């Protein structure tokens, strides 16, 4: 269904700092690139916030009927200790410390990342390319940039000439930084002495002897600069110009600014139409970050194994907590906040689980069409999930009034109402109905109890009762099987 035809989506574009009507380059198709994780450690809950928001963007675009190619990369080389051009490669450093192969580090944390995504009900992206899988393309892009006179080689390393680029283009177009100011902000760090200007950034770095992750190139045995992979992989899979590029706000500079400079140099066209940036998840009023040790892991939430947590929480509650905040606002994480979200989530799910029990009334006491369009308007307004949730709770109120026989919906309205609640709660927000899962474990418990009572009846030679239990369970689609190990059951 091409719902996008009747829903004018607006997107806040970090490039223009305004909410703009969303128009795609090709009608009906969206190309979206989101910077993926650097797999040198476990993804923390802050990373999850960013990826979860883009999961909801992806889900809503699909819901609107777009065909979406969603590319989210895995950074498995090139990201140095600090985000500038110096220090050790994060993955190589971890490999050295743990005395394992860099690719073992990559494998371990990629598997962990996928595990988190599965637990938290993420849709997989269309393509998940890796930096190390695109070294040849990165070398080609460096040659192209050098061919345009904007890359220069010094001692086996290649740098991007920011000042030269800035003569015709605007380096700072995304972050608002001025090239002149960058001189003062750039520390004279190791390795930067090779650069013509301190603002320049590395496209290729010559590897020193201890650097284990290295590839041969026309300039040296070395490795690509961190920013290059995203320019290369976005162009390769989405074209020179594509619709949406996303990431956390902390990637605006230097990472995304450098991506624009590289891509624009090669193609001559604006690479991205809409830049979207998520705000940070805070813990103890500070950015949640691996480097400072101020973080919680997503799987610790599920097990409750972190002293900052009062108890375990479900993945769906964490999703709900994230979606209660606008993605462009900072969000403070705490056990108390999660407990509050848990209550709201339970209320929502309780109402959702009552939907099937509602019988249509003769008339409607609630304007379902108006409410439906309010739900869409919230999401069309730059994916405003907290406002959507507020509207879903208006729906919860209606369900509770129907329960008390103080409201009713006619059959057409009831049908629309059920569809909209289910679509927004499960398809768009990606929440999970844990109550249903709970119910299935409760059903298992009840059947086990009946098996025990049947066994006792047989021991007492009460064949009538034992047969009655078996037959009535069969009538409900539950089959008992007597074996050497006892009785098992099958629910059809
Ligand atoms: P990294 O693995 O460090 O490259 O980060 C992966 C993604 O998580 C990037 O888009 C970051 O901007 C984002 N990110 C990192 N820390 C946070 C945080 N505390 N809150 C929200 N997003 C974050
Ligand atoms: Zn990137």
Long-range contacts of 377-382 (CB under 8 A, 24+ apart): 379/9, 379/60, 379/424, 379/428, 380/7, 380/8, 380/9, 380/10, 381/10, 381/19, 382/10, 382/11, 382/12, 382/19, 382/328
Residues 230-240 have a mean pLDDT of 98
Pocket of ligand 1 contains residue 325 by CB under 6 Å: no
Q: Relative to the alpha carbon of 290, which ligand is closest?
A: 1
pLDDT for 189 equals 43
Q: For the segment 20-49, what is each residue's pLDDT rounded down to a tens digit?
A: 999 999 999 999 999 999 999 999 999 999
With a 6 Å cutoff on the Cβ, whether 45 touches ligand 1 is no
From the CA of 24, how far away is ligand 1's center (Å)?
A: 26
Distance CA 207, CA 88 (A): 10
Fold of 3-278: Rossmann fold (3.40.50)
Going by C-alpha positions, the residue among 109, 115, 127, 136 that lies closest to residue 39 is 109
CA–CA dist 473, 490 (Å, integer): 10
pLDDT score, position 438 = 54
What pTM does this model have? 0.88
Distance from residue 90's CA to the centre of ligand 1 (Å): 15
Q: What is the mean pLDDT of the chain?
A: 93
Pocket residue to mutate for ligand 1, from 36, 50, 230, 293, most atoms within 8 A of Cβ: 50
* Dist. CA 275–CA 174, nearest whole Å: 9
Q: What is the pLDDT of residue 436?
A: 54
Paired tokens of 276: 């979207």
The domains of the chain are located at 3-278, 282-428, 434-491
Band (82; pLDDT cuts 50, 70, 90): low
**Cα(263) to centroid(ligand 2), Å:** 12
- Dihedrals phi, psi of 188, to nearest 5 degrees: -75, 90
- Pair of tokens at residue 52: 């979860």
HEC assignment per residue over the chain: CCHHHCCCCEEEECCCCEEEECCCCECCEEEEEECCCECCCCCCHHHHHHHHHHHHHHHHHHHCCCEEEEEECEECCCCECCCCCCCCEHHHHHHHHHCCCHHHHHHHHHHHHHHHHHHCCCCCCCECCECHHHHHHHHHHHHHHHHCCCEEEECCEEEECHHHHHHHCCCCCCCCCCHHHHHHHCCCCCCHHHCCCCCCEEEEEECCCCCCCCECCCCCCEEECHHHHHHHHHHHHHCCCEEEEEEEHHHHHHHHHHHHHHHHHHHCCCCEEEEEEECCEEECCEECECCCCECCCHHHHHHCCCCCCCCCCCHHHHHHHHHCCCCCCCEEECHHHHHHHHHHHHHHHHHHHHHHHCCCCCCCCCCHHHHHHHHHHHHHECCCHHHHHHHHHHHHHHHHHHHCCCCCCCHHHHHHHHHHHHHHHHHHCCCCCHHHHHHHHHHHHHHHHHHHHHHHHHHCCCHHHHHHHHHHHHHCCEEEEEECCEEEEEEC
CA of 415 to the centre of ligand 2 (A): 43
Q: Which of 89, 90, 174, 248 to mutate to test the pocket of ligand 1 (most atoms within 8 A of CB)?
A: 248
Instruction: Using the predicted structure, report yes or no on whether residue 190 has a pLDDT greater than 50.
Output: no
Minimum mean pLDDT among 98-107, 159-168, 184-193, 370-379: which range?
184-193
Q: Is 35 in the pocket of ligand 1 (CB under 6 A)?
A: yes
Find the ligand nearest to 33 CA: 2
Class of domain 282-428: mainly alpha
pLDDT of 187 reads 45
Contacts of 276 (CB under 8 A, 6+ apart): 11, 12, 13, 14, 54, 57, 244, 245, 246
Q: Specify the ligand 1 atom closest to the Cα of 36.
A: 6
Using the atom order of ligand 1, give the atom closest to the CA of residue 39: 2
Beta bridge partners of 482: 487
Backbone angles phi, psi at 430, to 5 degrees: 75, 20
Residue 330 confidence (pLDDT): 98
User: Is 130 a residue whose pLDDT tops 60?
Assistant: yes
A 10 A CB-CB count for 98 gives: 11
Token pair 């920011």: residue: 162
42-72 per-position pLDDT tens digit: 999 999 999 999 999 999 999 999 999 999 9
277 lines ligand 1 (CB under 6 A): no
Asked if residue 280 has its Cβ within 6 Å of ligand 1, the reply is yes
Mean pLDDT, range 114-121, rounded to an integer: 98
244 contacts 8 by C-beta, under 8 angstroms: no
Beta-bridge mates of residue 193: none
- pLDDT > 90: percent of the chain: 79
**What is the whole-number distance in angstroms between the Cα of residue 80 and the centre of ligand 2?**
13
**476-487 residue pLDDT tens:** 888 888 887 788
């Amino acid at each position: 269904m091409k719902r996008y035809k009747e829903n004018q989506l607006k997107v806040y574009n970090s490039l223009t700092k305004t909410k703009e009507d969303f128009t795609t380059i090709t009608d009906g198709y969206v190309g979206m690139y989101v910077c993926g994780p650097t797999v040198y450690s476990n993804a923390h809950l802050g990373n999850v916030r960013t990826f979860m928001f883009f999961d909801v963007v992806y889900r809503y675009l699909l819901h609107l009927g777009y065909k979406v190619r969603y590319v989210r990369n895995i950074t498995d080389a090139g990201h140095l200790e600090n985000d500038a051009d110096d220090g050790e490669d994060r993955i190589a450093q971890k490999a050295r410390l743990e005395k394992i192969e860099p690719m073992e580090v990559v494998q371990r944390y990629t598997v962990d990342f996928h595990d988190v995504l599965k637990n938290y009900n993420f849709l997989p992206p269309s393509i998940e390319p890796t930096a190390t899988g695109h070294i040849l393309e990165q070398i080609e892009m460096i040659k192209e940039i050098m061919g345009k006179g904007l890359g220069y080689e010094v001692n086996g390393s290649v740098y991007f000439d920011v000042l030269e680029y800035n003569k015709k283009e605007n380096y700072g177009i995304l972050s608002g930084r001025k090239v002149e100011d960058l001189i003062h902000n750039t520390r004279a760090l190791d390795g930067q002495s090779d650069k013509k200007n301190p603002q320049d950034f590395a496209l290729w770095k010559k590897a020193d002897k201890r650097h284990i992750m290295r590839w041969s190139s026309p300039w040296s045995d070395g490795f690509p600069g961190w920013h290059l992979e995203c320019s290369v992989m976005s162009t390769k899979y989405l074209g020179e110009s594509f619709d949406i590029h996303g990431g956390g706000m902390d990637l605006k500079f230097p990472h995304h600014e450098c991506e624009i400079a590289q891509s624009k140099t090669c193609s001559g066209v604006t690479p991205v139409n809409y830049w979207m940036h998520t705000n940070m998840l805070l813990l103890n009023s500070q950015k949640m970050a691996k480097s400072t040790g101020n973080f919680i892991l997503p799987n610790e939430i599920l097990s409750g194994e972190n002293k900052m947590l009062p108890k375990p929480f479900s993945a769906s509650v964490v999703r709900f907590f994230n979606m209660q905040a606008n993605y462009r606002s900072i969000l403070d994480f705490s056990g108390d906040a999660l407990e509050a979200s848990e209550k709201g989530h339970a209320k929502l799910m309780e109402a959702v689980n009552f939907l099937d029990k509602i019988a249509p009334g003769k008339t409607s006491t609630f304007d379902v069409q108006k409410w439906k369009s309010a739900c869409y308007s919230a999401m069309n307004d730059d994916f405003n999930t907290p406002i959507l949730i507020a509207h879903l709770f208006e729906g919860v109120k209606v369900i509770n009034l129907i329960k008390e026989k103080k409201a009713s919906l006619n059959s057409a309205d009831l049908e629309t109402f059920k569809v909209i609640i289910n679509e927004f709660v499960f398809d768009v927000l990606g929440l999970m109905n844990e109550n249903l899962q709970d119910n299935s474990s409760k059903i298992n418990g009840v059947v086990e109890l009946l098996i025990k009572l049947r066994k006792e009846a047989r021991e007492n030679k009460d064949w009538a009762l034992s047969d009655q239990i078996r037959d009535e369970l069969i009538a409900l689609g539950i089959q008992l099987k007597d074996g050497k190990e006892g009785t098992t059951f099958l629910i059809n």
